[in-house]
Amino acid sequence: MGDAVLLSKGRYRARLASTPEDVLAAQALRTVAFQTADPDRDRFDLICDHVLIEDICAEGALVCCFRMLTTQGGCEIGNSYSAQFYDLSALEVFDGPMVEMGRFCLHPDCHDPDILRVAWGAMTAFVDRNGIEMLFGCSSFAGTETEDYLDAFAMLKHRHLAPKRWLPRVKAPHVFRFAARLRRKPDVKKAMLRMPPLLKTYLMMGGWVSDHAVVDRQMNTLHVFTGVEIGAIPPARKRLLRAVAG
């Protein structure tokens, strides 16, 4: 853990949690944002770095947070949160530092788009400082009804499936195999309206997804494994992220 400020822009500051109280604050925000009955915490909180986005103009109020698990390469990916739900053995040969990004959330009362810009700028700063070569994690759709997202899943199938060499295999007991089951051509407008904002950002960065979604009834979500190879991010998008990070 460190206390470094990753980024400060306008009224928002992004920093790494440096005390147990910081982590408790992140867990409290997650509990509110994810509307869980019990406090949102798990064993991964102890081994992750936690990024806090604070509103400097509101006495440092916490408005966004996420956590990062850094690994030295694919050989450690079995220790990740995502590995509970996906067979990631194909990624074990990935040769380069990786970061799993998880538990990303905004305070429900905060809608300023600058918060997301600062969050992604902070992630970019962390990636650049630490030589990270891949981001990965679980991207969640609200609820567990697949019918609500068929156009979005069809678009993922047609445009954004993982390369075969990295493709996660099924591990969870309840999954929706959208790549195998869907035959429809996606309605692009409907697909983008139903695509989660975080996943949209990953896809704009050249990200890819698993060929199936996990039905996570505990979190009341459907989620897909998502990967972003840093070297494959489009140059224009990379320049934009680094402009924010700078």
Give the three-class secondary structure for 94: coil
The string of pLDDT tens digits covering residues 112-124 is: 999 999 999 999 9
Q: Are 164 and 241 in contact (CB under 8 A)?
A: no
In the block, residue with structure tokens 């979005």: 152
pTM for the structure as a whole: 0.94
- Sign of CA pseudo-dihedral 74, 80, 82, 86: positive
Indicate whether 2 pLDDT > 60: no
The string of pLDDT tens digits covering residues 151-206 is: 999 999 999 999 999 999 999 999 999 999 999 999 999 999 999 999 999 999 99
Domains of the chain, by residue range, sit at 68-245
Nearest CA to 228 among 154, 133, 140?
133
Residue bearing the bigger pLDDT, 3 or 14: 14
Amino acid at 8: S
pLDDT at 242: 86
The H-assigned helical ranges of the chain are: 20-34, 113-130, 150-159, 178-181, 188-194, 197-204, 235-245
Indicate whether 3 pLDDT > 80: no
Q: Are 153 and 146 in contact (CB under 8 A)?
A: yes
| Residue 1 pLDDT class (50, 70, 90 cuts) | very low
The string of pLDDT tens digits covering residues 141-156 is: 999 999 999 999 999 9
Cβ atoms within 10 Å of 54's Cβ, excluding its own:
22
Cβ atoms within 10 Å of 84's Cβ, excluding its own:
14
Which are the contacts of 151, defined by CB distance < 8 A and separation ≥ 6? Answer: 184, 186, 187, 190, 191, 194
pLDDT at 51: 98
Rounded to an integer, the average pLDDT of 28-40 is 95
The string of pLDDT tens digits covering residues 202-234 is: 999 999 999 999 999 999 999 999 999 999 999
Q: Are 71 and 77 in contact (CB under 8 A)?
A: yes
Amino acid at 3: D
Q: What is the mean pLDDT of the chain?
A: 95
The string of pLDDT tens digits covering residues 72-109 is: 999 999 999 999 999 999 999 999 999 999 999 999 99
